[in-house]
Amino acid sequence: MNNEVIAIQGIEGSFHHQVAREYFGEQVKVSMCSSFRELAEQVAKQSVTKAVMAIENSTAGSILPNYAYVDEYELEIVGEHYIPVRMNLMALPGETLESITEVYSHPIALLQCKNFFKQYPHIKLIEDNDTAEAAKRIAEQGLKNTAAIASTTAAEIFKLNLLAESIHSEQTNTTRFLIISKKGEKVEQADKASLKLILKHEQGSLLKALQILDRYALDMTKIQSLPIVDTPWKYSFFIDVTFKELPVFVEVMKALEEVSEAHKILGIYKNKNHETRQ
């Protein structure tokens, strides 16, 4: 029997819950967290086996604090998962778009759907902690004239009617999720890695680091900078790379020592970005 418990941000019916079910199976046991920090803490304390953590969206960009949480709590990335995010407007039975005056959802969901609501100026958009949580509250409290933006899974679980489907602006809207663990694990056929670099404070250090990646034919799929706390105007760089052979990646890490004050491997795992997603 599988005793794995997976931490997710949000509740059942959330997009994190959807990813957990797709990655670990429909019957996955989840621990619901109210924040990403709580999620990271649960993994760090090993009160859960692994966690699902959103890291970036093709429309709204990166969730910057989550890079810091992976680093701060000494977590390891062991996988990734992409889902096409479908944003849907839902409310109590009997409501219509004309009767709705307020819509609640996560700030990123609201951002992705802002163009849809331009044709409904009477509707006020209000930020909430979680997409599914907003749907649940409407159902449990019987909130009239109120709608939520969430997944069809949330509408099904909380028995809400769909007023409009796929209301997000970008129909290719996709979110990338990390699978994180405290212990780490050997991943078969790994071909992607996430790194943290603190570069030497000298001219051209970033260029030199990028030239090393180019020299060894690594494909940099992402680079993100974050300020280093208590060190004004100094930054950590979080970089994702793909590679064909693990020994080549090991050589790259050795070469990066020449241009960095510190470097850290946050995870080596299987690249999922090339897979076709419907």
List residues with catalytic annotation. Answer: 175, 177
Question: Measured on CA atoms in the order 18, 23, 26, 27, is the torsion positive or negative?
Answer: negative
| Residue 136: both structure tokens together | 């649940």
Length of the chain, in residues? 278
- Measured from the Cβ of residue 195, the count of other Cβ atoms closer than 10 Å reads 24
The residues pairing with 224 across neighbouring beta strands, listed in sequence order, are 238
SS (H, E, C) 4-68: CEEEEECCCCCHHHHHHHHHHCCCCEEEEECCHHHHHHHHHCCCCCEEEEEEEECCCEECHHHHH
Q: What is the DSSP letter of 153?
A: H
Question: Minimal CA–CA distance to 147: which of 174, 120, 182, 169?
Answer: 120
Q: Catalogue the E-assigned strands of the chain.
A: 5-9, 29-33, 50-57, 61-62, 76-84, 88-91, 102-105, 124-127, 146-150, 161-164, 174-181, 192-199, 219-227, 235-242, 260-269
